Amino acid sequence: MPTPWHPGHGFGLLVLAYPKPLERLIRAFERFPGIGRRSAERLAFHVLRDPSTRELAVALEDAAKNTRRCGRCANVTELDPCAICSDEERDRSTILVVEEPRDVEAVERSGAFSGVYHVLFGSLQPGEGIDARHLTIGRLVERVRREEIREVVLGTDPDAEGEATALVVLEALDHAGLVLRVTRLARGLPAGAALEYLHRGVLEDALEGRVVLRRLPEA
Ligand SMILES: [Zn+2]
């Protein structure tokens, strides 16, 4: 005879479920990259157990409300244009194109670059359906068209996705018929090393030894 603690015998509705608000929290964590159901559950219970993590809610709200994308370089910022784009001291004719805001952070920390940036917000990831349309390439082309840009330095990561992304950016600039110098950070970089892990000296060398892909026509 079926019993309530032995489901499957006419007790199909016997489902062990978390309370709705908890389930909602778990599902929210599950949307984070690399977080599966088990990790999401662990994080959710951690939040419930430790009251200090409530700060997370405030931080989430604040980050969502008070950050935007810079209208020029697409980086995350509180003010638009961002501090780097509004800095008169910087060489605004040279744009270093990077994948992520953390690359800007790393290059800035190194102090090796005094130009401005353009953040693509990712790289081509064909497996995950991320193509050129998901990146800010169109905005970069518009920007180069509008502003007086002398050089675009392609600083995407030296891995397969980064190389493919650099190529697509180069093609977009070519396609727009823009006359400017386009360079790629030197390959002396450790294989696969993202910008964010490089030290000042390495970054300086990579900038110094950048490879010219398109040069300005002789005057
Ligand atoms: Zn900016």
153-201 pLDDT, tens per residue?
A: 999 998 899 999 999 999 999 999 988 999 998 866 565 667 777 788 8
Mode of pairing for the β-strands spanning 91-98 and 68-69: unpaired
List alpha helices for the chain, DSSP H.
20-30, 37-49, 55-66, 101-110, 137-146, 160-175, 200-208
- Per-residue pLDDT tens digits for 41-100: 999 999 999 988 888 889 999 999 999 999 999 999 999 999 999 999 999 999 999 999
Distance 72 CA to ligand 1 centre (A): 5
* CATH node for 87-214: 3.40.1360.10
pLDDT tens digit string along 13-56? 556 689 999 999 999 999 998 999 999 999 999 999 998 888 88
Q: How far, in Å, from the CA of 70 to the mean position of ligand 1? A: 5
Confidence of residue 4 (pLDDT cuts 50, 70, 90): low
CATH of 20-66, one of 3.10.20.740, 1.10.8.420, 2.40.30.170, 3.40.50.1820: 1.10.8.420
* Ligand 1 centroid, distance to 219 Cα (angstroms): 31
CA 62 – ligand 1 centroid, Å: 20
Distance from the CA of 50 to the center of ligand 1, in angstroms?
37
* Whether this model's pTM surpasses 0.95: no
Spans of all domains in the chain: 20-66, 87-214
Average pLDDT over residues 143-155: 95
CA–CA separation, 120 vs 134, rounded Å? 9
Helix, strand, or coil (residue 44): helix
CA atoms of 136 and 73, how far apart (whole Å): 9
Q: Ligand 1 center to residue 26 CA distance, Å?
A: 35
pLDDT at 82: 97
In the predicted structure, residue 139 carries a pLDDT above the cut 60: yes
Using the mean position of ligand 1's atoms as its centre, give its distance from the Cα of residue 115 in Å.
Answer: 11
Q: Please give the residue that has the higher pLDDT: either 54 or 207.
A: 207
Q: How far is the CA of 120 from the centre of ligand 1 (A)?
A: 12
**What is the whole-number distance in angstroms between the Cα of residue 116 and the centre of ligand 1?**
8
